[in-house]
A and B are shown apart, each in its own frame.
Chain A
C-alpha cells in the first residue's frame, strides 16, 4: 500500500471546536487514515477485520457497504475505538489516535446509531447538550447550540426542545440523534446504519436531509449500511466490503456501477445498474429541449396561428406566472370552441432541474405523450425533457463512465507496474519491500 500525503485542509481533532454558527465557511472535516487495521477476537481462527487500509479525505462522505457479518460495523467502531483494534494504526487529521484516551477521542467524533440511541429519560435538549456539557462549554453557549442544531436538522426548537424521545416519531428521533452527534461540532461523524429502522418514506427524507447537511457542513462522514441503493444515493465514495472487511472495491458510485471490480461487487450492485445510474444524474446535467409555448395572456388569434403554422402539433400553455399549465393540441381549440378554459389537457406533473433522471423517467413514462416539463424557480417553465433526450443522455453517460473506468484501470495498472519495479529494485539493495 503506497503511502500518500494528504493535502486537504484538515482540522486536527485536538483543535477547540469552533463556536456555534459563526465559522460556517471553515472546512470542518478531517482526514481519516486506517493502516493495517485489524481486529482479532480471542479464540477465533480468522480475524474479524483483517488489515484494512483506507484513506478518507477531509469533508468526504464514505459509505461502508457489504453483507451482514462482513465486519463493516466493527471497522467503523474501531475508528472511535468502541472496539479496540488488535493491530494497525488509526490517524485522524494526521494525528495518531490509536493510543490516545478513548473517552476524549470519542468526544471529538460524532456518533449516530440505528434507532437513534437517544436517552429516554432526558429531554431532546438535554440529549443534544450532552457532549457540549462534557467538553465544558458554557451554559449560554450550549443553549444557543441546542437551538441551532434543532434548526439544522429541521425541527422547531420551541416545539421540540422540551419533549422526551418517546414523544417523537422514528424519523424525528433520528434527526435528534444526528443533532446530538453534531452538537460539539466534531470534524468526523460516524453513522452506523442510522436509517435502518425507519420506514422507507422517512428514510428517503432523512437521506435527502443528510445530503443537504453535508452540503452545509463538509464533515468527514463514515456511514455504514447494507443497502446498496442508500450507498449510491449518499456516498462520495463507496467501499464495498466482503468477509473480514476486505475491501472489494473502493471508488465513486459511478465507477462501481459501471465497472464493478469483480463478481462479488457486481453481485452486490445487483441487477439494473443502468437504472441505478439514473439516480446519480440530475435533470440539470442533460439537454433540455425548447418547446413552443404561449401564455394565457396571449391573444387567442396568436395561439391559433401558432398551432396552424404546422411546425408542431402541440404547444405548451403557460399561466400568468410562466408556470406550465396545459398541453394544447391542434384540434383542441376547435373542439373547445375557442375557449382556453376548456381546451387541452392539464399539466399534472413537472420536474425541477434538481430532480434525478430517475424521477424524470418516471414522469415521462406516466405521461401519455412521453414528455415532461422542467421547471425552475417558483415553478416557472424552463424546457421539456422527453424519452428521446433521456435515452440519448443515458447512453452518453454510460459510455463516458466506461471510458473513465478504463482510464482509471489503466492508471492503476501503471501504478502497480511502477511499484513492482520499485520493489524489485529495492529488493536488490536489501530493503524489505512493503
Chain B
C-alpha cells in the first residue's frame, strides 16, 4: 500500500486525530495566552519580578517534553489532563516574555500622556499599553503555537489525543507494512496544521492590530 492509498483508507481516523490535535493546541493556547499576559501585566513594572517570571518560564522550557509528560502522569493521571497541563506550561514562555518586552517597550511619554489626561490605571493598561504591546504579544502567541504543535505529538505517550498517536503507532510497529506511512501521515499532518494556524495568525494580526501602528 503506498502513502496515498494509506491516506485514502485511513482518512477518517486521520481527520479525527488532526481535529483533536488542533483543538488541544488551540485550547491550551487560549489558556496559556490568558495566563501569560496576566503574568506579564503583573510583573512588567518591576525589574525584579519581570526577570523572575522570564527565568521561571524558560526553566520550564528546558525540561524535555517527554520527561515533563512522564512526570505529570503520577500527578494528574493519563489521557487529556497531562497533555493540557504540559502544553499550557510550554506555551507560557514566549507569551510571558513578549508581553513583558512589549509592555515595557511602550513609549513612556504616552503613558505619561494617558495619566495626564485622566485615565485610571486600568484604562491606561486596557486602552493604551496593551493595544500598543499587542503586536509583540501576538508574535509570542504565534511562536508558542508553532512550538506546541510539535510538543503536542508527544502527548500520545500518555495516551493523549492528536496526531502523535499516528506517529507512536508507526514507531511501535517499525518494519511492518504501514509503519512509515503512519509516521509520515502524522508528521505531515502536524506540518499542515502548523501552516494553517500560522495563516490564521496573519489574519488575526490584520484584524486586530490597529492601522495606526501596523508595520
Contacts and interface: CB of A to CB of B under 8 A. Distances in A.
A and B are interacting partners: yes
Interface of A: 80, 82, 103-109, 111, 113-115, 117-123, 130-131, 134, 164-166, 180-181, 190
Tell me if A's interface is mostly helix, strand, loop or mixed.
mixed
A190 B128 CA distance: 21
Contacts, number: 66
Interface string B174-215: 000000000000000000000000000000000000111100
Interface of B: 109-110, 112-120, 123, 127-128, 131-132, 210-213
B115 A117 contact: no
Contacts of B113: 111, 113, 117-119
A134 B119 contact: yes
Contacts of B120: 103
Contacts of B123: 134
Contact of A120 (B116, B127, B132): B132
A335 B128 CA distance: 73
A268 to B, nearest CB: 27
10 contacts: A106-B116, A106-B118, A107-B117, A111-B116, A117-B110, A117-B116, A119-B110, A119-B113, A123-B212, A134-B118
Given A82-B116, A119-B110, A120-B110, 11 more contacts: A103-B118, A103-B120, A108-B118, A111-B113, A111-B116, A113-B116, A114-B109, A119-B128, A120-B132, A131-B117, A166-B212
B117 A181 contact: yes
- Most chain A CB within 10 A, of B113, B119, B120, B123, is at B113
A121 B110 CA distance: 11
A106 B109 contact: no
B173 to A, nearest CB: 54
Contacts of A134: 117-119, 123
A131 B116 CA distance: 11
- Most chain A CB within 10 A, of B116, B117, B120, B132, is at B117
A130 B132 CA distance: 16
Given A113-B109, A114-B109, A120 B119 contact: no
B212 A131 contact: no
Contacts of B213: 120-121
Contacts of B114: 119
A287 B117 CA distance: 47
Nearest to A163: B212
Given A106-B117, A111-B117, A181-B117, A120 B112 contact: no
